[in-house]
C-alpha cells in the first residue's frame, strides 16, 4: 500500500486516490491492508479512521469509555501485531477489520 500523508495536512493519498479529511493529521500507520490515521485531538473523541487499499473509509473508532470526556486518541500503534490506540494512559485494542474496541489496558 502506498500512502502519502504528512502531519498537519488535511488529506491523504492512498494508492493514487486523494481523500480529504475533516481535520489535520496527527499520525498514521499502515497496518496490514489498512491505513489507520489519527486526526487532531481537537476534532472529536472519535478521531481515528481506517481506509482500505482503494482509499475507502472502512471504519471510525468508538469513543473511549470515560465518565468525563476529554481529548480524542493520541496515538495508533501496531505493536506485537495488534492495532492499539492510546487515550489518557489507556491502551485500547482495536479490531482492524471493524474498528471495534475489544480490550483495554491501563499501564500504571
Handedness of CA 4, 36, 77, 32 (dihedral sign): negative
Q: How far apart are CA 1 and CA 48, in angstroms?
A: 19
pLDDT at residue 70 tops 70: no
Total length of the chain = 108
Q: How far apart are CA 64 and CA 77, in angstroms?
A: 16
Q: Does residue 85 contact residue 72 with C-beta atoms inside 8 Å?
A: no
Q: In the predicted model, what is the mean pLDDT of residues 79-88?
A: 89
Question: Which pLDDT score is estimated for 5?
Answer: 93
Q: How far apart are CA 49 and CA 70, in angstroms?
A: 18
State the pLDDT confidence band at 44, using cuts at 50, 70 and 90.
confident
Q: How far apart are CA 47 and CA 72, in angstroms?
A: 6
Q: What does CATH list as the number for 3-106? A: 2.40.128.630
Amino acid at each position: 500500500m502506498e500512502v502519502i500523508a504528512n502531519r498537519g495536512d488535511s488529506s491523504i493519498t492512498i494508492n493514487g486516490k486523494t481523500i480529504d479529511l475533516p481535520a489535520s493529521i496527527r499520525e498514521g500507520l499502515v497496518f496490514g491492508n489498512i491505513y489507520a490515521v489519527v486526526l487532531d485531538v481537537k476534532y472529536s473523541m472519535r478521531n481515528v479512521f481506517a481506509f482500505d487499499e482503494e482509499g475507502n473509509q472502512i471504519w471510525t473508532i468508538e469513543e473511549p469509555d470515560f465518565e468525563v470526556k476529554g481529548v480524542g486518541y493520541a496515538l495508533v500503534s501496531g505493536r506485537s501485531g495488534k492495532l492499539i490506540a492510546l487515550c489518557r494512559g489507556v491502551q485500547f485494542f482495536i479490531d482492524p477489520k471493524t474498528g471495534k474496541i475489544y480490550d483495554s489496558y491501563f499501564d500504571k
